[in-house]
Structure 1
Amino acid sequence: MLFGKLLPREGNFFEMFNQHADRIVEAARAFEQLVAHYGDLNLREKYGQDVDNAEAAADRVTHEVNKAVHKTFITPIDREQIHSLINTMDDVADLIQDSAETMTLYDVRHMTEEITRLTDLSVKCCERLRDAIKLLDKLADPATAEAALKTCEEIDRLESDADRVLRSAMSKLFREEPDVRELIKLKAIYELLETITDKCEDVANLIEGIVLENS
C-alpha cells in the first residue's frame, strides 16, 4: 500500500491540455489578425510573431505532457489517448504557424475573400476545440459528456463548411486567376488553411473516443 502511495498519480494532464488549447486559440486569433491587416507590413510582422510565440508555447506544453506520461504511474485516461491527443493538438498549432510562414515565403500579394472565410472557419474550429478540451476532466457528469460530444459535432460541421469553401475557392481560382504563379501560391494557402480544420476534426474524433470510453 505504501508503495502505491509513493508512485506518481494523475498528474495535471487536463490542466496542460487546457493550456495547450488556449495557445492554439491564441495562435489562430493572431493569424486572423495577420490576415485582416495583411496590407500593413508592420502589423503583419507583429501578428506573425504572435503566432510564432503561441506555437512555441504550445510546443513547450506538448513536451511537458509527453514527459509527464513517462513519469506518471496512474494516468487519468489511457496513455495512448494522452499521447495521441496532445500531439494531434500540437499539429493544429504547427499548421497555423505554417500558414503564416507560407504567406510570407510565397509573398502572396493580397488576401482573398476565400482566405478570410477559411481563416474564420479555422478560428471557430480552434475555439470549439478548446471548449471541448475544457470538459474532459468532468466526464463523470453525463451532461458534461454530452456537451463535449455536441461540441465535437460542431467541429465536424465547421470542417465540412471549410471543405465546401475550399472546393468553391479552387473552382474560382482556376477560372479567374490569370497569373499562374499567384494561382500556385493561393492554391497552397487554401489547402493549408483547410488542413487546419481537418486536424481540428482529428482532435474532435480523439475527444469523442475519450468521452465514450470514460463517461
Structure 2
Amino acid sequence: MSSKKAYDYFEALLGLSKFSLQASELLKKTISDFHTATLEEKIREMHNIEHSADIAKHDMIEHLIKEFLPPIEREDIINVAQQIDDVTDAVEDVLMCIDMFNVKKIRPEIPKFTETIEACCKSMYVSVEEMRNFKKSKKLHAEVVEVNRLEEEGDALYINGVKELYRNTSDPVDLMIWTEVYRKLEKCCDACEDVANEIESIVMKNS
C-alpha cells in the first residue's frame, strides 16, 4: 500500500499568493476601465477571490495543526500565510472603499498606482515560489529587493498623489474620499513588503 502523499506547504503558500495576484489584476483592470455600472459585479468577483483565499488558508492551517514535522517552523508558515492573506484583503479593500464612497470618476493618477500594486504582487508571488529552494535559489533575493523597491514606488505615488490632491482640490468631501483611497492603495504595497520581509527573515533563520 502506498503511503499518503505529504501535504505541500510551499505549494499551499504559493496558492495563497496566486489569489493576491489575481486580486491585483482584477483591481488594475477595474480601475483602468472604470464604470460604475459594472462595479458591483467586480466587487463580487473580488470577494470570491478573497473568500477562496480564506478557505485555502484555513485548509492549510488544519493540516498544519496535525503536522508532525513541517518543513519550516509552524509559526513561520502561519505568519507568511496570514501576511499573504493581508495582501488579498488590502486589495479588496480598495474596491470596497471606492464603492462605499460612491466614486463616480477615477483620478488620472490612480491607474499607475494599481499597476505598481500588480507588479508588487507579481514579485511577491515569485518570492513565495522560490521559498521551496531558498538555499539554491538565484532569484529569491532579487525578487525581495524588487518588492521593497516597488513599495518605495508606492510610497512616492502616495505622497505625490495626496500632495497634488490637497493643492488642487477644495471640496472637503473629495479630499476625504481620495485621502482614504490613497491610504488603501499604499497599504497594498506595504502588505506585499511585509510578506517579502518575512520570507527574508525565514531564509536567514534556516540558512
TM-score by length of 2: 0.93
Shift of 1:210: 1.7
Work out whether residues 17 and 84 of structure 2, in 8 Å CA contact, stay in contact via their aligned partners in 1.
yes
1:45-64 equivalences in 2 (<5 Å): 45-64=40-59
Give distance in 2, aligned partners of 1:214 and 1:119.
34
- What per-residue deviation string (whole Å, max 9, x for no partner) do you get for residues 35-67 of structure 1? 11212512x333222211111111111111221
- What per-residue deviation string (whole Å, max 9, x for no partner) do you get for residues 5-60 of structure 1? x9x99621111111111111111111111111212512x33322221111111111
Among 7, 20, 23, the residue aligned to 1:24 = 20
| 2:200 alignment partner in structure 1 | 208
| 1:190 alignment partner in structure 2 | 182
Give the paired residue count. Answer: 205
Give distance in 2, aligned partners of 1:177 and 1:67.
50
Provide the aligned C-alpha RMSD in A.
1.7
Instruction: List gaps (5 residues or longer) in structure 2.
Output: none
Give distance in 2, aligned partners of 1:61 and 1:125.
22
Shift of 1:115: 1.6
Determine what percentage of the aligned residue pairs are the same residue.
Answer: 25
- What per-residue deviation string (whole Å, max 9, x for no partner) do you get for residues 105-129 of structure 1? 1011211123212111111111111
TM-score by length of 1: 0.90
Shift of 1:149: 1.3
Give distance in 2, aligned partners of 1:32 and 1:46.
15
Among 141, 153, 161, the residue aligned to 1:161 = 153
Asked if residue 73 in structure 1 is aligned to residue 58 in structure 2, the reply is no
| 1:34 alignment partner in structure 2 | 30
Shift of 1:132: 0.8
Comparing 83-92 and 204-213, the one that deviates more = 204-213
Shift of 1:72: 0.3
Asked if residue 83 in structure 1 is aligned to residue 78 in structure 2, the reply is yes
Give distance in 2, aligned partners of 1:181 and 1:57.
35
Q: Counterpart of 1:31 in structure 2: which amino acid?
A: L
Asked if residue 128 in structure 1 is aligned to residue 123 in structure 2, the reply is yes
Instruction: List gaps (5 residues or longer) in structure 1.
Output: 1-5
Work out whether residues 36 and 104 of structure 2, in 8 Å CA contact, stay in contact via their aligned partners in 1.
no
Give distance in 2, aligned partners of 1:137 and 1:165.
33
Q: Counterpart of 1:179 in structure 2: which amino acid?
A: D
Give distance in 1, aligned partners of 2:135 and 2:168.
53
